[in-house]
């Protein structure tokens, strides 16, 4: 790659505000347009059956990493993967302490172009500018494309970030997908090393900053370009089975039935009402309900359903969780069999004040309007936050749409987010930065 040799910039040059050192080739560049073009290309080349679905350890995942590797190399970064499949682009600093930026590479089934990928593309763009204009950083900077966050292939989410933070246990790798393939076997089949989880854990990361589309309506509705994230919601999720007694729908009197669907209906009504009394910020969703055998003239043998419980740092997620489990105990007392499989149990987190302040200052220095905001969705930043000082930048999702092919973020907002990320990273990694 052409450009300035970072090692040849003097301390005086490095201390000048970045905007006074932008090379002629960078002036007037539409960064947002280039980022959007990359995201379009990534989506088009990783389609599955006409949908955007980059599930972890699949052909689509492999192709996405090949494309992102090219982005990183073209930006002047050295590229490597860890044994889990997290992809890194590294800008070596004066020290090996790492400022890590990026997001996840995977998508939900029939998802959009921006969730996760926007955080990677903007991070690569920011580092490309720093490579050309800012010289060698005091601290090493790395862009990461995290292996998995969504849980769209396996019920277990955040594989990449949990691997890096040491929160992933070997037994976690034996969850199976819809075809009975374990995470362990899928990793091995993709060329990675599930037996070397200890080599994925990082002790050199000083801070993590994630840029992400908001996935909600607030920024777009208010015409604000940047959300400075203060906290991330806690998420508890379950798959629950209630087993009753299968029988004929027409010949079994109501008083003699053991209908698990009726038991579930009672639980949904009671839990929903009581959760709102406990915390007015909580959400509880019964997203999938399946009856077995699922016939119109048969009293179900069992009902299988999911629960998604969320609440913020000032909420009462654990109290609501205890209430839900008490209702399930009541069903057992009524003669039903109940089994619970935990999918996710992530507590709400507050993000690092120093990094939050740095993001706020970066937006102010760029003259970009921002608001402080809390995240109602889970993110890799949530996993990093209790292990590493962490910050998060939101950019708008048009009409609040996400996890959908209609997901869209404008070129202007992509560029604004990239510039705030750029200034944030500069302040964190360059001790003499004054931009």
pTM of the model: 0.87
Please, which pLDDT band fits residue 16 given cuts at 50, 70 and 90? low
Q: Residue 65: which residues within 8 A CB-CB, separation 6 or more?
A: 81, 85, 87, 105, 145
Is 60 exceeded by the pLDDT of residue 396? yes
Is 50 exceeded by the pLDDT of residue 380? yes
Is 60 exceeded by the pLDDT of residue 19? no
Is 70 exceeded by the pLDDT of residue 26? no
Q: What is the pLDDT of residues 209-219, one digit of tens each?
A: 999 999 999 99
Is 50 exceeded by the pLDDT of residue 79? yes
Please, which pLDDT band fits residue 434 given cuts at 50, 70 and 90? very low
Is 80 exceeded by the pLDDT of residue 2? no
**Domains of the chain, each with CATH number or no CATH:** 6-233+348-429 (3.40.630.10), 235-346 (3.30.70.360)
Q: What is the pLDDT of residues 321-349, one digit of tens each?
A: 999 999 999 999 999 999 999 988 999 99
| Mean pLDDT, range 176-201, rounded to an integer | 97
Q: What is the pLDDT of residues 252-278, one digit of tens each?
A: 999 999 999 999 999 999 999 999 999
Is 50 exceeded by the pLDDT of residue 24? no
Averaged confidence pLDDT in the chain: 92
State residue 11's pLDDT score: 52
State residue 5's pLDDT score: 42
More confident residue, 8 or 226: 226
How far is 90 from 170, CA to CA, in rounded Å? Answer: 28
Q: What is the pLDDT of residues 90-118, one digit of tens each?
A: 999 999 999 999 999 999 999 999 999 99
High-pLDDT (> 90) share of the chain, % = 89
């Amino acid at each position: 790659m052409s450009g300035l040799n970072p090692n040849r910039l003097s301390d005086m040059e490095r201390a000048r505000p970045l905007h006074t050192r932008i090379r002629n080739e960078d002036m007037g560049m539409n960064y947002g347009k280039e980022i959007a073009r990359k995201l379009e290309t990534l989506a088009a080349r990783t389609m599955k059956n006409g949908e955007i679905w980059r599930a972890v350890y699949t052909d689509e995942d492999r192709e996405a990493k090949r494309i992102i590797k090219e982005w990183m190399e073209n930006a002047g970064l050295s590229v490597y993967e860890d044994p889990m499949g997290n992809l890194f682009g590294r800008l070596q600093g004066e020290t090996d302490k790492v400022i890590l930026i990026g997001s996840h590479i995977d998508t939900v089934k029939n998802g959009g172009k921006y969730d996760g990928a926007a955080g990677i593309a903007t991070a690569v763009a920011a580092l490309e500018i720093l490579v050309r204009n800012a010289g060698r950083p005091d601290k090493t900077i790395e862009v990461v494309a995290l292996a998995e966050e969504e849980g769209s292939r396996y019920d277990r989410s955040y594989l990449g970030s949990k691997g890096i933070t040491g929160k992933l246990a070997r037994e976690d790798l034996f969850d199976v997908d819809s075809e009975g393939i374990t995470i362990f076997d899928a990793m091995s089949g993709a060329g990675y090393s599930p037996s070397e989880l200890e080599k994925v854990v990082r002790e050199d990361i000083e801070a993590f900053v994630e840029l992400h589309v908001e996935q909600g309506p607030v920024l777009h509705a208010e015409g604000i370009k940047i959300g400075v994230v203060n906290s991330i919601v806690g998420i508890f999720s379950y798959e629950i089975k209630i087993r009753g007694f299968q029988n004929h729908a027409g010949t079994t009197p109501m008083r003699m039935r053991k209908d698990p669907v009726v038991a579930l209906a009672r639980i949904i009504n009671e839990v929903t009402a009581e959760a709102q009394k406990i915390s007015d910020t909580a959400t509880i969703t019964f997203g999938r309900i399946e009856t077995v055998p699922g016939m119109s003239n048969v009293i179900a043998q069992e009902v299988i359903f999911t629960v998604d419980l969320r609440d913020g740092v000032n909420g009462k997620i654990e109290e609501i969780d205890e209430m839900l489990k008490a209702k399930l105990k009541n069903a057992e007392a009524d003669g039903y069999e109940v089994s619970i499989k935990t999918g996710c149990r992530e507590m709400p987190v507050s993000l690092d004040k120093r990094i939050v302040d740095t993001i706020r200052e970066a937006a102010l220095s760029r003259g970009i309007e921002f608001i402080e905001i809390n995240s109602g969705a889970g993110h890799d930043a949530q996993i990093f936050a209790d292990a590493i000082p962490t910050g998060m930048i939101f950019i708008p999702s048009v009409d609040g749409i996400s996890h959908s092919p209609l997901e869209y973020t404008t070129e202007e907002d992509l560029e604004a987010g990239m510039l705030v990320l750029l200034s944030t990273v500069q302040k964190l990694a360059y001790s003499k930065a004054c931009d």
